[in-house]
Amino acid sequence: MQTLIDELGRLPGIGPKSAQRIAYYLLKSPAEDANRLAGSITEAKARVTWCQRCFSIAEGELCAYCQDDRRDSTSLCVVEEPRDIVAIERTHEFNGRYHVLQGAISPIEGIGPEQLRVKELLRRVESEEVKEVILATNPNIEGEATAMYLGRLLTPLGIKVTRLASGLPVGGDLEYADEVTLGRAFEGRREVEA
Amino acid sequence: METPPGTSVARVELVDFRCYESTHLDLPSGVTVISGDNGEGKTSILEAVVWCALGRSFRGVPDAALVRAGQEEAVVRTFISAPERSRKIEVGLRRTGRNKILLDGKAVPRLRDLIGALRVTVFAPDDLALIKGGPAGRRTFIDELLTTINPRFSGVRADYEKVVRHRNALLRAGGRVNSQSDEGATLEVFNQQLVATGSELLEGRLQLLNQIFPEVQLAYRELAIEPVVLEADYVCDWATSGPNETGLSQTLTREELAKTMRAALSALAGRERERGTTLVGPHRDEWALTLAGLESRSQASQGEQRTLALALRLASHRAVAAAFGQEPVLVLDDVFSELDEYRSAALVERLAAPQTLISTAGPLPFGVEVAARVCVANATARVQ
Ligand SMILES: [Zn+2]
């Protein structure tokens, strides 16, 4: 029982009290319900992996966006997490490809450029037909730092590098921005200075 | 004490806050006096109300210590009546985990979004530390006044503090995070952010001090028995360039301040790496106050220090009132026991607020008109 509570408590956003409540709920529910949950976790873990090209979530070698031939390969949008892609897709402002960094630069947490998919991004920019990179990291300190770092790295390569326009709530997360705000930020993106 | 119309706390409810299991008070406008035996009870009520305004205990107590013994969560609800609209703030303070804040029933994701819903001016015995203590207390005084008058700065301040923490972590790691080949690129990014947020905060502080210092001088003259010359100097020890070696002229633009910061960052780069901490920026600054040319922190008498502390609070109260056309709620925590009759009377005469909450163990100064009395005993509070 305590092992279950401890494991649940390690999940994001779940405190010790919630962990206890969920553990009791699971123990009280029928065996097939608990098995279905355990099974879906195991299955998802086995089937879902990182997309080999953009490092979003994929059920196979490539994710749905990387497989889709109708998308514009000259335009590449860099985000922190796969969930940011969902937020951007809702705006219908973007029809290019994505690149997921899997985080943002955060020295406090010991995360530097080498802990992110930065090398992979550079490789893509060099080997694919990318003409514009849109830096869509979160409008907070870590996201801005990451965008600045990438801007300095990418601008000398002779491609267009843009950053989402302000208007996004500062200090916020992309995933919580509403479609209208995020859509306008996309439309009004500005070029990054070297 | 005048009672102009304005915002007031109409009701406060406490659940498992400090010694209170469950209690509520309906408060009128005008002066409410909270009395009772010495102990936690009187100040706790003020502390709860002020938490809803500042997002922290004015006594500097961590939130976990505000939760009643044996409980997991303390709840404070304040009902604010204002000419334009009534508001409700509900705060859940957790012993472990994140606090929960609701404004008019809607979750407030960040503490700084609460700022402005309720404005208070607090006078407390600890205010003496504003003058007697280190520079950090004076910086907090300036920054809290700045964010009250111009809420944009709550974001600037939070961002700046975050950048300093990131930069310190980076400097401690020798300039690179888990990396062999960074060559200072990450540090350069955080330098840029330090300069951007730091110069904005500096500009805000300097403009605010320019604006309120005459008010501080006036308040000091009103409250002191024998006023002397009061002067102030905003000191940046890190500034290596500028009009004088360490002080910054208060008329510098943000670009000039940014330039000063950049120059200091290159001058002190070696020492920062050596010490593993950020040595440049407004988090290192001092607001030095002198009385008759002597440093008030170390060379003024306790009486003069107390007068100066009162003057800072009175000036900030007036500055906020002028900015919003409405006086903040006044909170006086056991202030009169520390003051002589002259200064008590002088203070009372100058204070104006739609609502004043006073905790006291002794009698009130002459001339205070009381609208309600609250008696605290056995962990319950009741309006008499
Ligand atoms: Zn992909």
Q: What is the pLDDT of residue B222?
A: 92
Distance of CA B161 to the CA centre of its chain: 16
What is the rounded average pLDDT of the residues B360-366? 84
Architecture of domain B128-325: Up-down Bundle (1.20)
Angle at B211 between CA B163 and CA B249, to 5 degrees: 65
Question: How many residues belong to chain A?
Answer: 194
Residue entry with tokens 């993106």:
A189
Q: What is the pLDDT of residue A47?
A: 82
Q: Which CATH class is domain A71-191?
A: alpha beta
| Substitution target from A111, A114, A119, A173 for chain B, most B beta carbons within 10 A | A114
Percent of chain B residues topping a pLDDT of 70: 95
| Spans of all domains in chain B | 1-119+328-384, 128-325
Scanning every residue of chain A, which has its alpha carbon at the shortest distance from the alpha carbon of B167?
A107
Chain A, chain B: beta-carbon pairs less than 8 Å apart? 70
**Contacts for B367 with CB less than 8 Å, ≥ 6 apart:** B1, B345, B348, B349
On whether the pTM is more than 0.95, the answer is no
ipTM of the assembly?
0.81
**Contacts for B198 with CB less than 8 Å, ≥ 6 apart:** B160, B163, B257, B261, B280, B281, B282
Nearest to B68 by CA among B14, B124, B135: B14
Q: How far is the CA of A134 from the centre of ligand 1 (A)?
A: 16
- Would the CB atoms of B158 and A145 count as touching at under 8 Å? no
Indicate the residue of B72, B169, B185 with minimum beta-carbon distance to A107.
Answer: B169
Contacts of B189 in chain A (CB under 8 A): 105, 145, 148-149, 152
- Would the CB atoms of B186 and A115 count as touching at under 8 Å? no
Q: What is the pLDDT of residue B243?
A: 45
Q: Minimal Cα–Cα distance from A95 to chain B, Å? A: 30
Q: Minimal Cα–Cα distance from A16 to chain B, Å? A: 9
Top pLDDT among A181 and B214 is at B214
Q: What is the pLDDT of residue B184?
A: 83
Nearest to A77 by CA among A188, A186, A184, A192: A186
Q: B2 falls in which pLDDT band (50, 70, 90)?
A: confident
Q: Which of A169-178, B112-121, B208-217, B229-238 has the lowest average pLDDT? A: A169-178
Nearest to B232 by CA among B283, B282, B295: B295
| Substitution target from B73, B96, B186 for chain A, most A beta carbons within 10 A | B186
A152 in B contact zone (CB under 8 Å): yes
Q: How far is the CA of B182 from the centre of ligand 1 (A)?
A: 27
Do residues A169 and A177 touch, judged by C-beta distance below 8 A?
A: yes
- Would the CB atoms of A107 and B193 count as touching at under 8 Å? no
Homologous superfamily (CATH) for B1-119+328-384:
P-loop containing nucleotide triphosphate hydrolases (3.40.50.300)
Q: A18 falls in which pLDDT band (50, 70, 90)?
A: confident
- C-alpha to C-alpha distances, B322 to B83, B149, B315, B319, B329, nearest whole angstrom: 17, 9, 10, 5, 14
Best-predicted range by mean pLDDT (A63-67, A166-170, B376-380): A63-67
Note the pLDDT tens digit of each residue in A30-51. Answer: 989 989 999 999 988 888 889 9
Q: Minimal Cα–Cα distance from B336 to chain A, Å? A: 42
Residue entry with tokens 């969930």:
A83
Ion ligand 1: protein residues whose beta carbon lies under 5 Å? A 51, 53-54, 56, 63, 66
Q: What is the pLDDT of residue B32?
A: 94
Q: How far is the CA of B358 from the centre of ligand 1 (A)?
A: 63
Top pLDDT among B379 and A105 is at A105
What is the rounded average pLDDT of the residues A70-84? 96
List Cβ<8 Å contacts ≥24 apart for B314-317: B314/B219, B314/B222, B314/B223, B314/B347, B314/B350, B314/B351, B315/B212, B315/B215, B315/B216, B315/B218, B315/B219, B316/B121, B316/B141, B316/B145, B316/B212, B317/B121, B317/B351, B317/B353
Over 90: is that where the pLDDT of B336 sits?
A: no
| Substitution target from B178, B181, B278 for chain A, most A beta carbons within 10 A | B178
Note the pLDDT tens digit of each residue in A87-142. Answer: 999 989 899 999 999 999 999 999 999 999 999 999 999 999 999 999 999 888 99
Top pLDDT among B40 and B269 is at B269
Indicate the residue of A113, A144, A170 with minimum beta-carbon distance to B182.
Answer: A113
Mapped onto helix, strand or coil, the DSSP state of residue B102 is strand
| Spans of all domains in chain A | 2-47, 71-191
Q: Minimal Cα–Cα distance from A70 to chain B, Å? A: 36
**Contacts for B372 with CB less than 8 Å, ≥ 6 apart:** B27, B28, B30, B31, B32, B33, B383, B384
B 222-261 → A contacts, CB under 8 A: none
Over 60: is that where the pLDDT of B291 sits?
A: yes
Over 90: is that where the pLDDT of B182 sits?
A: no
Q: Which of A17-21, B45-49, B138-142 has the lowest average pLDDT? A: A17-21
CA B45 to CA B334: how far, in whole Å?
13
B163 in A contact zone (CB under 8 Å): yes
Note the pLDDT tens digit of each residue in A161-183. Answer: 998 876 555 555 676 666 666 77
CATH topology of domain A2-47: Helicase, Ruva Protein; domain 3 (1.10.8)
Instruction: Quote the DSSP letter at residue A140.
Output: S
A145 in B contact zone (CB under 8 Å): yes
